[in-house]
């Protein structure tokens, strides 16, 4: 994909499109400058609507059917049908459901995962018949959202892309969380006083049966790279949201 101000992903099946957005290319101001896609930052809804419409047009997906979720740091997965988000994406801007992962077999229905430090993970299967989008912060990782997402993808060879997220360079956490993450994902997800969410996500995917070679890292620390990314840790609750998006091409 050569859409402006998005990061494309190599190696996708021919009928699958996917990308990670950046903060560039939008119309929002202040801490949401400029391509904020989220509704929890206090941003002007008209600006969010314009940013979402421009992303859809630039990437080539159907805004009328695109899906965002009201992300709650849990492990629930929503199966999305052919009507997708039914206009909410650029209409009411509301999420389709309270959940952190969604999957679909419906061509033309773009699935988005939003974040500003949490790990965005996009899933697809080898035969190009099914896609998924997962929001995985530390709470979701511990709750098992990635395993749940992979399970919902069903049988077959599953591949994944792990998008820009906060790196261990910028993510010190307390003793209890370091211990929890080490116990669940391995000692090497702890680096000094910090946690490596990307590595934990890779472990969670492997634990769900995804081959290590089928996992693509799209690098970037959201906190370090303030030119490209929003970061909750860096900028607080008023920061904007970037997104990962994936869809099956409409036949």
* Site for Zn ion, rule CB under 5 A: 167, 169-170, 221, 223-224
**Rounded least distance, CB 233 to Zn ion, Å:** 9
Beta carbon of residue 172, minimum distance to Zn ion (angstroms, whole number): 11
DSSP string, the chain: ---TTEEE-SS--TTEEEEEE-STT----GGGTTT---SSS---HHHHHHHHHHHHHHHT--TTT-B--B--SS--EEEE-TTTTTTTTTTT---SSB-SEEEE--TT--EEEEESSSEEEEEEETTSS-EEEEEE-HHHHHHTHHHHHHHHH-SS-EEEEE--B--TTS-B--HHHHHHHHHHH-GGGEETTEE-HHHHHHHHHHHTT--GGGEEE---BTTT-TTT---HHHH-TT---EEEEEEEPP-
Report in angstroms how near the CB of residue 192 gets to Zn ion at its nearest.
13
Q: How far is the CB of 48 from Zn ion (least distance, A)?
A: 26
Place of tokens 């990635």: 146
Find, among 138, 211, 130, 124, the residue nearest to 171 by Cα.
138
By beta-carbon proximity to Zn ion, the closer residue of 28 and 223 is 223
Q: How far is the CB of 167 from Zn ion (least distance, A)?
A: 4
Q: How far is the CB of 234 from Zn ion (least distance, A)?
A: 9
């Amino acid at each position: 994909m050569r859409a402006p101000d998005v990061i494309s992903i190599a190696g996708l099946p021919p009928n699958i499109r996917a990308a990670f957005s950046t903060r560039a290319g939008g119309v929002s101001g202040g801490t949401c400058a400029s391509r904020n896609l989220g509704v929890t930052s206090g941003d002007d809804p008209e600006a969010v609507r314009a940013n979402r419409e421009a992303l859809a047009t630039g990437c080539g997906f159907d805004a009328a059917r695109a899906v965002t979720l009201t992300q709650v740091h849990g492990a629930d997965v929503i199966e999305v049908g052919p009507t997708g988000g039914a206009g909410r994406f650029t209409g009411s801007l509301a999420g389709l459901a309270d959940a952190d992962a969604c999957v679909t077999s419906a061509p033309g229905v773009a699935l988005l995962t939003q974040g500003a430090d949490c790990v965005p993970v996009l899933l697809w299967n080898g035969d190009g018949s099914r896609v998924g989008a997962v929001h995985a912060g530390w709470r979701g990782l511990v709750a098992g959202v990635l395993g749940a997402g992979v399970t919902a993808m069903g049988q077959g060879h599953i591949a994944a892309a792990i998008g820009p997220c906060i790196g261990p360079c910028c993510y010190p956490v307390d003793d209890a969380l370091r211990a929890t993450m080490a116990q669940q994902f391995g000692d090497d997800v702890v680096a000094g006083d910090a946690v490596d969410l990307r590595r934990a996500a890779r472990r969670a995917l492997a634990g769900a049966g995804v081959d290590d070679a089928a996992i693509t890292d799209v690098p970037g620390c959201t906190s370090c790279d303030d030119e490209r990314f929003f970061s909750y840790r860096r900028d607080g609750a008023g920061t904007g949201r970037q997104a990962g998006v994936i869809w099956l091409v409409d036949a």
